[in-house]
Amino acid sequence: MEEELRCGHCGGYYHVPVLLACRHAMCLACARELQKPAAGTTRVEEDGGGGAGHEEGGGEGAEVDKLSVLSDADSGVSCSSRPASLVGGDPPPPPPVYTVTCPLCSAATPMDDAGAASLPRYRVLAAVVDKHLERYQVAEPCQLCDGQGAPRPAQLFCDQCLVFYCGPCRDACHPARGPLAAHWLVSVSEGRALLRARRREREGRCGHHPGEHVSMYCLTCRLPVCVLCLHHGRHHAHDVHALNAVTKARKVSI
């Protein structure tokens, strides 16, 4: 199980794992490091030109969610029960802006202009990694150790710097006197708990606007978006619905 909990790129335990299109995982930082502009992409259009594409894709979908009420004379009367875009076939996704290649199978995952930040978080895997580290008391490596050798085990975590320090690196980079003396240093286990709490706080927040929670879903891009994305971003001309309405419609279709 040890190998399954390590990132195929950096070799370390998964840290903020994200899910790729091939269903393999990768650390978020590794995905940011490996992301590249998609072939043929020169710049990101703010409005995305999604208006015309949505109108073209709406014709076929409008026929999917119609209920035929037949009379004795077999004359059909069609009525729409729900918005076709929620139940019918999804419109084709927009062209990718970035791609990232899986280090395990070499499959490419398309991404929008947010890059790796738009990839879904693999929260189940993150919880499994946390449980494994706690159960087997796996040492957290120091994040500032230099050199060709393996980093020394961390001894402390700084809640302000968000860095795990070994003893020598703490003395060299985080002295007990000076402006850093007021920082809160805790044990490694407490540091892991603080990082988990911070990740939970960020769940449900927009990748483009971290201060906003996602409340809408863009069917054109197949991504959850926030209000700012809808009014000021490239999703304003896309097919956007309330997130809870899309969730209910998907559950019904399943």
Per DSSP, the residues of 60-93 read HHHTTTEEEEE-TT--EEEEESS-HHHHSPPPPP
- Residue 63 within a domain: no
Residues 210 and 250 in one domain: yes
**pLDDT in the model for residue 148:** 62
Residues 186 and 144 in one domain: yes
- Residue 64 within a domain: no
The more confident residue out of 76 and 187 is 187
Query: Domain range for residue 159?
Result: 139-203
Q: Which amino acid is at 215?
A: S
**216 φ, ψ (degrees, to nearest 5):** -125, 165
Residues 133 and 244 in one domain: no
**Average pLDDT in the chain:** 77
d(CA 84, CA 91): 11
Lowest mean pLDDT among 75-79, 88-92, 202-206: 75-79
Residues 233 and 129 in one domain: no
CATH for 232: 3.30.160.60
**pLDDT in the model for residue 40:** 67
State yes or no: pLDDT of 5 exceeds 80: yes
Looking at residue 139, the DSSP 8-state letter turns out to be P
The more confident residue out of 2 and 86 is 2
Measure the CA dihedral 216/217/218/221, to 10°.
130
Q: In what order do the strands lie in the sheet with 156-158?
A: 163-165, 156-158, 185-186
Residues 151 and 199 in one domain: yes
**pLDDT in the model for residue 121:** 86
Residues 27 and 123 in one domain: yes
Question: What does R_g of the chain's alpha carbons equal in angstroms?
Answer: 24
Residues 247 and 133 in one domain: no
Burial class of residue 195 (count of CB atoms within 10 Å of its CB; 0-12, 13-18, 19+): middle
Mean pLDDT value of segment 103-108: 95
Q: Collapse the DSSP code of 6 into the 3-class scheme (helix H, G, I; strand E, B; otherwise coil) and give the result.
A: strand
Residues 226 and 198 in one domain: no
Q: Which amino acid is at 42?
A: T
